[in-house]
Amino acid sequence: MEKRLKKLPAGIQTFEEIIKENYIYVDKTRMLVNLIENGKVYFFARPRRFGKSLTLTTLEAMFLGKKELFKGLYAEAWMNRPDFVKYPVIRLSMNAVTTDSGIDALKESMCLRVKDIAERLDVQLVSSNLASDLFEDLIKKTAKKYQEKVVILIDEYDKPYIDFVDDPEMADKVRETLANFYVRVKANDEYLRFVLLTGISKFAKLGVFSKLNNLTDISMNDKYAALCGITHEELLQNFPDYLELTAEEMQISKEELVEKMEDFYDGFSFNGKQRLYNPYSTLMFFEDKSFDNYWFDSGTSTMIAKYLKGKNLTVEQFRNYPVSRDFVRNPGEMDSTPPEGFLYQGGFLTLREGITADFALDYPNKEVLNAMSRLVSGNLLSRNDGDYSRCFTDTINALYMLNCDKLIEALNRLLASIPYDDYKREAEDNIIYNAYTFSPKEWFYRATILTFFRGCGITVFAEMHTNKGRADLVLNYKGQIWIIEIKVAYEGESPAAKAEEACRQIVEKNYNKPYPNAICVGLAVDDSARQITEYKMIK
């Protein structure tokens, strides 16, 4: 008889539904019990689709005393104590607030959300068109009606603010509205048992919470580093059947499957120590059994696409990027934070233990790195979406056919599609990357081509070291290795000589020694034409 597997809770954010409908639940209730017993007012930041909503609905069920849902979980014994007390819960998701019709519509939508909660709790509110007044009245009357202090759980507190990443004037209005709303939490502290606000960022923390200074920020706390996300141990413990089934279907070993999953979906870290699998991508992978960009394609790219518009950023500039502990704790406001702060707060960069600084930033895994590369490449190209699609198709076909002529044609189409102004934005100073120095234009061409390859989903490594040097690019497409060395021919220099120099460097520096069957290409970019005008292959 075939074993019936528990269902995968992909997209399910309600704890009660997960338990009642027999979905897999990764038990995080030990940390929630610790949270409840050791504090009162908390703030917790995590990227989108990382389990924040599930965390809040689990807390809601705990405070409401729904003991039947916690059988076999850590919280079961805690809820069965003689002194356990139920508390009324106000749970508000700012995801449900309308933000696409101006500030007045936003305020009206917030009022409606508060009124909906009041109706559910059977509380009659005062007549007011101010959401902050309604919220305060809701807190007081809920405590009075149920004769207990109130639990407040607010999900995606920053969603209305983040929606205006490309509109600073509107963002300021939203921030003021939210600040007036959230400050009522502190003003009614005497009525509160427990408060948790979650969001994807701390952008609005200084502005929105300037008066709400009693929050304990647990976003980087080691004890709660794995509160959202899936650890390696949790993956093996909770998904053994799906690992076996997926490995069998993909015709690889379980160990190889886990290694590939780690490469694609593991690597998120919120304290620089604990590594976590993205829960949404992990669940979707088990559903589809295909290594795709699930998290990034689920809506997370909207914010970053808005931010990247008009900015001349490269992917490589944020690899192993040193930052201080102060930066991590206080990255600044959305309209003033540097790009690394924005990408970190949005979950596109994650923490690593630093060597020369407290921490280093880097992309968490291959999913985010490839998706970011595609976004950055698309942003560099002229605004015609067909440019990217054609470059992508031609590049994949060239690599598949082992046709270097076609590959150079595709790369030249890429370079020709980049707006003229972007070529003029390079810095005047030389660029240092991984202790190696590049001229600005050499860096620009190299980073652009590298980013494009990654955006195509191709496995590509930069600065691959041998015993004598490091190769610019090493590609692995369907088992075929390509080694590409890039030189720039400036005014008065011979592109043919530069291509020859690139090939000579591949041989002299032993770039091809680890890969006996590699296709080795030295190419020269003519800077005046901004095209690859010469290339040479090593036979």
pLDDT at 471 over 70: yes
Q: Which long-range contacts (CB under 8 A, 24 or more apart) does 398-401 make?
A: 399/458, 399/475, 399/477, 399/478, 399/480, 399/482, 400/477, 400/478
* pLDDT mean over 156-169: 84
Strand partners, 323: 359
| Neighbour-count burial for 148-162, b at 16+ CB within 10 Å, e otherwise | bbbbbbbbbbbbbbb
* Over residues 276-284, mean pLDDT: 96
- Compute the distance between CA of residue 487 and CA of residue 497 in angstroms, rounded to an integer: 10
Contact 522, 485 (CB under 8 A): yes
- Looking at residue 94, its pLDDT comes to 94
Query: Residue 102: pLDDT band by 50, 70, 90 thresholds?
Result: confident
257 confidence band (pLDDT: 50, 70, 90)? very high
Domain limits of the chain?
15-224, 231-380, 402-538
Residue 184 per-residue DSSP state: H
Mean pLDDT, residues 416-442 taken together: 54
Report the pLDDT value the prediction gives residue 283, as an integer from 0 to 100. Answer: 97
Q: Can you give the pLDDT at residue 211?
A: 65
Give the chain's largest Cα–Cα span: 86
* Interval 109-122 mean pLDDT: 96
Closest alpha carbon to 289 in 235, 250, 334, 347: 250
CB of 179 within 8 A of CB of 211? yes
Q: Give the pLDDT mean for 384-394.
A: 73
φ/ψ of residue 526, rounded to 5: -80, 110
Return the top range by mean pLDDT from 1-10, 259-268, 336-345, 510-519.
259-268
Average pLDDT (333-359) is 81
What is the mean pLDDT of the segment spanning 47-53? Answer: 92
The CATH architecture annotation of domain 402-538 reads 3-Layer(aba) Sandwich (3.40)
Residue in 435, 533, 442 with CA at minimum distance from that of residue 485: 442
Residue 223: per-residue pLDDT: 95
Of 74, 103, 273, 83, residue with least CA distance to 175: 103
**pLDDT of res. 436:** 44
Instruction: Give the pLDDT mean for 28-38.
Output: 97
What is the rounded average pLDDT of the residues 60-75? Answer: 98
Q: Which residue has the higher pLDDT, 431 or 537?
A: 537
Q: Give yes or no for residue 140 having a pLDDT over 90.
A: yes
DSSP 227: S
pLDDT at 507: 92
Q: Higher pLDDT residue, 248 or 435? A: 248
How large a percentage of the chain has pLDDT more than 90? 57
Instruction: Give the confidence band of 383 by pLDDT, cuts at 50, 70, 90.
Output: very low
Confidence at 300, pLDDT banded by 50, 70, 90: low
Among 75-84, 334-343, 414-423, 504-513, the range scoring the smallest mean pLDDT is 414-423
pLDDT of residue 357: 75
pLDDT band at 466 (very low <50, low <70, confident <90, very high): low
3-state secondary structure 256-296: HHHHHHHHHHCCECCCCCCCEECHHHHHHHHHHCCCCCCCH
- Run of H or E residues at 94: none
Name residue 351's beta-bridge partners: 361
Q: Phi first, then psi: what are they for 307, rounded to 5°?
A: -70, -40
Architecture of the domain delimited by 15-224: 3-Layer(aba) Sandwich (3.40)
Dihedral sign (CA 164, 169, 175, 176): negative
CA distances in angstroms from 230 to 31, 225, 321, 365, 389, listed in the order given: 14, 11, 25, 14, 34
